[in-house]
Amino acid sequence: MGMLTVCTVLGTRPEIIKLAPLIPLLDGQPGLKQILLHTGQHYSLAMDAVFFAELGLRGVDVQLAVGSASHGVQTAAILTGVETAIQQHDIGLLLVLGDTNSTLGAALAAAKLAVPVVHIEAGCRSFVRTMPEEINRVLVDHCSAQLLAPNESARRQLLAEGLPDRDITVVGSTAIDAARAFAPRSQGRSIVADSLCRLGLPADAPYLTCTVHRAENTTPEVLPGLLRGLSRLAEQYPILWPVHPRTRRILDELTLPVPPQIVLLPPVGYLDMLALLSNARALCTDSGGLQEEAYALGTPVLILRNETEWTYLLDGGCAVLLGNREEDIGSRGQQNLVDSEQQKMRQAARVLSAQLEDGGAAERILAAIKARWL
């Protein structure tokens, strides 16, 4: 059998991080030639290049540089670019992860050319069809030849949707692998101490970490109330908040008042984010990837949404849904920041990790690909 050329597609911060443990394994696998394709969905230094540098990843082979645009324009540009790359590089297998426009555009391009698609994080569902990410997940799962699910819940969802059991393998989460592997390198970074110093607090003062970026949370109708809810939590503990560019733009346009106990930071690299997570009393976030990264480090997760794809974190007791309304964030958040609840959530993370025997997802993904395609 000849060499199989596999195209690994990434385009956003979460994809770079989650694929980091797998990319070198694919590069080193006999019988495989890996083409690393970057769509350019995230393209600034703060949102992209810094992650390649910190994770020690090699350069990409194909850069589409699609940039920011509407869902339709961006997805179409990715589809067109990936189609060209498949033909030019004689791609025999396409690997995508998650639920981004990069994932959908690349998967559609491959499926239409009869190139098998392997989907990592298959089967995750929020069951909210108004979310673009949910549409992307469902469509990619149903045009993929191999479905690599992160857990049994995702596997059961795929079966419920009529996808064949023979195409599904439970492999775990590479986000957890990456967080635990790189957390030691984040120790000693000054971002936490510097941020707390701005408030006149010692470097070891308790604090919360926050991120908000989802489209449904950054509208003029939602963001003001969400910020007021966070302000109530900041009365208990200061909040360190790396602000996504879209969120920063809306905050500035609406001239929303931010209390001094909330420290707004520029976008941060992966190691600084791990430092912010590792030492936080809790994470308040609407990010799916950060939910798992916080869990991997044993940090309680307060989710600024009404649902999550990572239901196993809710079931395991190490994450709770706060919603995105002022009253819910304030009341539910304060309830879950008391010492007894914090201790329960941290213990729940340890118990869940032991039950799942998580870790080693990249190796299981490689094994599944080898078993099916080599």
CA–CA dist 343, 80 (Å, integer): 50
3-state secondary structure of 3: coil
Q: Are the beta carbons of 347 and 318 closer than 8 angstroms?
A: no
DSSP string, 101-116: HHHHHHHHHHHHTT--
270 vs 287: CA distance, rounded Å: 14
Active site (annotated) includes residue 142: no
C-alpha–C-alpha distance, residues 73 and 79, integer Å: 10
Give residue for tokens 């059961």: 156
Beta bridge partner(s), residue 210: 284
Dihedral (C-alpha) 17, 212, 305, 10: value to the nearest 10 degrees? Answer: -30
Q: How far apart are the first and last CA of the chain?
A: 8
- The residue annotated as part of the active site, out of 38, 42, 142, 213, is 213
Name the DSSP letter for residue 294: H
Q: How many Å apart are CA 300 and CA 287, to the nearest integer?
A: 14
Q: What is the CA radius of gyration of the chain?
A: 20
Residues classed as catalytic: 213
